[in-house]
Chain A
Amino acid sequence: MSDASGDERVKELSAFRKALIRPELGGMVGTVAVFTFFLLFAFDSGMFNAQGVLNWSVVSAQFMIIAVGACLLMISGEFDLSVGSMIGFAGMMIAIFGVTLGWPMWMAILVTFVICVAFGALNGYIVVRTGLPSFIVTLATLFILRGFTIFIPQTVERKTIIGGIREAAEGDWLAVLFGGKILTGFFQWMGDAGIIAVFERGSRAGQPVVDGIPMLIIWALVLIVFAHILLTRTRFGNWIFAAGGDADAARNSGVPVNQVKILMFMFTAFCATVFATCQVMEFGSAGADRGLLKEFEAIIAVVIGGALLTGGYGSVIGAALGALIFGVVQQGLFFAGVESSLFRVFLGVILLFAVILNTYIRRIITGER
């Protein structure tokens, strides 16, 4: 111990136990295990060439975007079960505004963000005002939003899928931020240099198969970095921990707990809308069933990442690793030709493991036996 006046009764924590106290530990071990597994057993499947890497990176990035929001919200002591419905709803709103009503795409996107974040604020407001568990409040929002997502397009368009978004977004400055790609020049160069595969025939002959990094991945990275710094390095981050650790104690110490929680609900809604916007730009259409079960996938990623369901403890990096594990395993099993239903079995097992491990870790931190 560096501190000379240390208490002689304090036993040095073993390095192992010290490492265990880091919330990201489970995520790190899991990531290494998953990559080792697929490198050994699925290396030849095409999972690790440029196209394969892009494939699971995009899927992981999708999980990461919603996991980041769910992570901060869970640390602040709340859940949001309406994330999946919010994704469907946000996509549908963009389609209605941008295609049916013919608004410029940037306006459709901005208005959708405002509406969805307002719904997040409403979730949070109801939770802090009534003191009801967020589980119940957002379960209600889950049904309300999903209902609107089916009802609105049926009423105005007589169908539940609205296409034509890509055409409507052509040349739009804001849509590019969600549907575009970056480093396309670099990928063309790598294709020309023979480092990555290029199309051999057809209208795109000579162009690389992977022609850039989708903005979706950039959004995921930016959100992770932002949320990680916010949580660990700022005053507001301390308030997030405090609000979830013990709301009354935090309040008595002058932490504006209600504002913190409402803001976290808004942030979760923001993340869901980012997800939805990227998705409709990629698919070119909005469907009423988009985002189904996404709220649970986000929560699972966060729990695998070491956060406690009871709040007050967790890590954004852990949640991001949880999302990565999620994406790699889902796509890896696909590449390896394993029956996709087994993915759910895997998910259930790993979730159980993560929760048990987290409970054990909490005992170590709080010193209870």
Chain B
Amino acid sequence: MTDPIIRMQNIEKHFGSVIALAGVSVDVFGGECHCLLGDNGAGKSTFIKTMSGVHKPTSGEIIFEGKPLDFADPRDAIAAGIATVHQHLAMIPLMSVSRNFFMGNEPIKKVAGIPFFDHDYANRVTMEEMRKMGINLRGPDQAVGTLSGGERQTVAIARAVHFGAKVLILDEPTSALGVRQTSNVLATIDKVRKQGIAVVFITHNVRHAMAVGDRFTVLNRGKTLGTAERGEITPEELQDLMAGGQELATLEGSLGGTV
């Protein structure tokens, strides 16, 4: 088997007295979709933020492509090829879609040696990428503030896919999306994975996870019970793990198996 792109080893993260992560180890492989599941507050977002350079882990080691990694800020992570769609989107409502799309990665066109922002290229690519995701923009200069929550999410995903060179991290990308956009995102994950890129996919929805996942890790109160591979685990078991088994069993009785 190939070596993982990222090895997260015993990651701990404390916020003051809050222990958000209490030693989590996960390996992420190229060409695979790694699903991260768990309840609210389990530490999923915190975990991927240590991968994308937003948080420095309190302890533990991150090995990226065989080398220990020490990102000072998100810029380093992006430069290394890790693209992230954060749960609370990194989108700026007052700015146009294309300015948002290329934020931090602005295309450059040199005129007389001076580097200018290549607006033509940015506008064209933005329209193209959004069309691929099934969203027709009024124009690339439309402000992100006028888009719906799901449309914004789609811009963020399209942006991450466009720039995600080696690792693509998606934090609950499908939670705000409609049926068509959800299947678009799942199809995109599948496509990206086939290009050899590693995908980290956070979701609460077991069906979405089962649809594209190759590996499944469940986080519970900052800890993990380990990683299961596809075929080793059933949706029901996953569901149980996420909600801590027992409670769900009781719930299931009263809700008539609809969860």
On whether the beta carbons of A366 and B143 are closer than 8 Å, the reply is yes
On whether the beta carbons of B117 and A366 are closer than 8 Å, the reply is no
One of A165-173, A233-241, A326-334 at the interface: A233-241
Interface check A34, CB cutoff 8 A: no
Interface check A339, CB cutoff 8 A: no
The answer for the CA separation of A362 and B93 in the assembled complex, in Å, is 10
Identify which of B52, B74, B117 contacts A237 (C-beta below 8 A): B117
Minimum distance in angstroms from B135 CB to a CB of chain A: 8
Minimum distance in angstroms from A235 CB to a CB of chain B: 4
Q: A5-B136, A10-B138, A235-B106 are in contact. Are A252 and B90 (CB under 8 A)?
A: yes
In the complex formed, the residue of A with least CB distance to B105 is: A254
Contact flags B106-118 to A (C-beta < 8 A → 1, else 0): 1010000001110
Of residues 35 through 49 on chain B, the ones whose CB sits less than 8 Å from some CB of chain A are: none
On whether the beta carbons of A252 and B54 are closer than 8 Å, the reply is yes
Identify which of A13, A235, A241, A254 contacts B95 (C-beta below 8 A): A241
Identify which of A7, A246, A254, A362 contacts B74 (C-beta below 8 A): A254
On whether the beta carbons of A254 and B78 are closer than 8 Å, the reply is yes
A250 contact set on B, CB distance < 8 A: 90, 92, 103-104
Of residues 53 through 86 on chain B, the ones whose CB sits less than 8 Å from some CB of chain A are: 54, 73-75, 78-79, 84, 86
On whether the beta carbons of B74 and A253 are closer than 8 Å, the reply is yes
Interface check B196, CB cutoff 8 A: no
On whether the beta carbons of A249 and B92 are closer than 8 Å, the reply is yes
Number of B interface residues, CB 8 Å? Answer: 37
The answer for the CA separation of A242 and B93 in the assembled complex, in Å, is 10
Minimum distance in angstroms from A11 CB to a CB of chain B: 9
On whether the beta carbons of B103 and A362 are closer than 8 Å, the reply is no
Minimum distance in angstroms from B110 CB to a CB of chain A: 11
Residue from the set A13, A245, A253, A362 with the largest chain B CB neighbour count within 10 Å? A253
A308 contact set on B, CB distance < 8 A: 94
On whether the beta carbons of A253 and B106 are closer than 8 Å, the reply is no
A235 contact set on B, CB distance < 8 A: 106, 108, 115, 117
Interface check A312, CB cutoff 8 A: yes
The answer for the CA separation of A241 and B91 in the assembled complex, in Å, is 12
B212 contact set on A, CB distance < 8 A: none
On whether the beta carbons of A256 and B75 are closer than 8 Å, the reply is yes
Contact flags A2-18 to B (C-beta < 8 A → 1, else 0): 01011100100100000
A337 contact set on B, CB distance < 8 A: none
Identify which of B102, B115, B145 contacts A367 (C-beta below 8 A): B145
On whether the beta carbons of B93 and A253 are closer than 8 Å, the reply is no
On whether the beta carbons of A253 and B90 are closer than 8 Å, the reply is yes
Interface check A219, CB cutoff 8 A: no
Interface check A251, CB cutoff 8 A: yes
Of residues 277 through 312 on chain A, the ones whose CB sits less than 8 Å from some CB of chain B are: 308, 312
A13 contact set on B, CB distance < 8 A: 138
Contact flags A241-268 to B (C-beta < 8 A → 1, else 0): 1100110111111111000000000000
The answer for the CA separation of A3 and B137 in the assembled complex, in Å, is 9
Minimum distance in angstroms from A249 CB to a CB of chain B: 4
On whether the beta carbons of A251 and B145 are closer than 8 Å, the reply is no
On whether the beta carbons of A238 and B94 are closer than 8 Å, the reply is no
B143 contact set on A, CB distance < 8 A: 365-367
On whether the beta carbons of A6 and B136 are closer than 8 Å, the reply is yes
On whether the beta carbons of A238 and B99 are closer than 8 Å, the reply is yes
The answer for the CA separation of A250 and B95 in the assembled complex, in Å, is 11
Interface check B191, CB cutoff 8 A: no
Minimum distance in angstroms from A358 CB to a CB of chain B: 12
Interface check B146, CB cutoff 8 A: yes
On whether the beta carbons of A366 and B146 are closer than 8 Å, the reply is yes
Identify which of A5, A241, A256 contacts B92 (C-beta below 8 A): A241
On whether the beta carbons of B146 and A255 are closer than 8 Å, the reply is no
A255 contact set on B, CB distance < 8 A: 75, 103-104
Minimum distance in angstroms from A43 CB to a CB of chain B: 41
Residue from the set A235, A245, A252, A255 with the largest chain B CB neighbour count within 10 Å? A252
The answer for the CA separation of A253 and B146 in the assembled complex, in Å, is 20
Identify which of A5, A245, A253, A256 contacts B94 (C-beta below 8 A): A245
Interface check A89, CB cutoff 8 A: no
On whether the beta carbons of A365 and B145 are closer than 8 Å, the reply is yes
Q: A252-B84, A312-B94 are in contact. Are A233 and B145 (CB under 8 A)?
A: no
A237 contact set on B, CB distance < 8 A: 117
In the complex formed, the residue of B with least CB distance to A233 is: B116
On whether the beta carbons of B89 and A249 are closer than 8 Å, the reply is yes
Interface check B194, CB cutoff 8 A: no
Of residues 343 through 369 on chain A, the ones whose CB sits less than 8 Å from some CB of chain B are: 362, 365-368
In the complex formed, the residue of A with least CB distance to B73 is: A251
A362 contact set on B, CB distance < 8 A: 94
Selected A-B contacts with CB under 8 Å, 22 pairs: A234-B116, A237-B117, A241-B92, A242-B103, A245-B94, A245-B95, A246-B93, A250-B90, A250-B104, A252-B52, A254-B75, A254-B103, A255-B75, A312-B92, A312-B94, A312-B95, A313-B94, A365-B143, A366-B93, A366-B94, A366-B145, A367-B145
Mark A residues whose CB is within 8 Å of B: 1, 3, 5-7, 10, 13, 233-235, 237-239, 241-242, 245-246, 248-256, 308, 312-313, 362, 365-368
Sorted from nearest, which 6 A-B pairs have the closest CB atoms? Answer: A366-B145, A254-B104, A245-B92, A235-B106, A367-B146, A253-B104
